[in-house]
Amino acid sequence: MKNIKSHFEMHERFRNGIFLLLVILFLGGLAFFFYPVEEKEYHLTELENYQKEIDSLKLEEEIKRQERKKVSFNPNFISDYKGYILGMSVEELDRLHAYRKKGLWITSAKDFQKVTQVSDSLLNAMTPLFLFPEWSVKSRNLRTVSTHRIKKDLNSVSAEELIGTCKIPDFIAERIIKYRDKLQGFLADEQLEEVYGLYKWQRENILKLYTVKQKKTVQKINVNKATVEELLTVPYFDFETAIQIREFIEENKSISELGELRGIEGFDRFKINRIALYLYAD
74, 140, 219, 237, 281 from 271: Cα distances, Å: 30, 28, 19, 10, 15
Q: What is the pTM of this model?
A: 0.45
Domain boundary among 113, 130, 149: 149
Specify the CATH number for the domain of residue 255.
1.10.150
Indicate whether 171 pLDDT > 90: yes
- Separation between Cα atoms, residue 55 and residue 32, nearest integer Å: 35
**Would you say residue 3 lies in a domain?**
no
pLDDT in the model for residue 142: 47
Domain boundary among 101, 133, 149: 149
**Would you say residue 65 lies in a domain?**
yes
**Would you say residue 254 lies in a domain?**
yes
Least confident of 47-56, 88-97, 202-211: 47-56
**Would you say residue 131 lies in a domain?**
yes
Q: What does the pLDDT average to over 147-155?
A: 76
User: Are residue 79 and residue 145 in the same domain, yes or no?
Assistant: yes
Least confident of 44-58, 102-116, 139-153, 230-244: 139-153
**Would you say residue 107 lies in a domain?**
yes
Computed over every residue of the chain, the mean pLDDT equals 78
How confident is the model over 268-279, as pLDDT tens digits? 776 788 888 888
User: Are residue 143 and residue 166 in the same domain, yes or no?
Assistant: no
**Would you say residue 15 lies in a domain?**
no
How confident is the model over 1-23, as pLDDT tens digits? 445 445 445 556 666 667 777 77
How confident is the model over 107-142, as pLDDT tens digits? 888 889 999 999 988 888 888 888 876 655 555 554
**Would you say residue 121 lies in a domain?**
yes
User: Are residue 133 and residue 161 in the same domain, yes or no?
Assistant: no
Domain that holds residue 229: 221-280
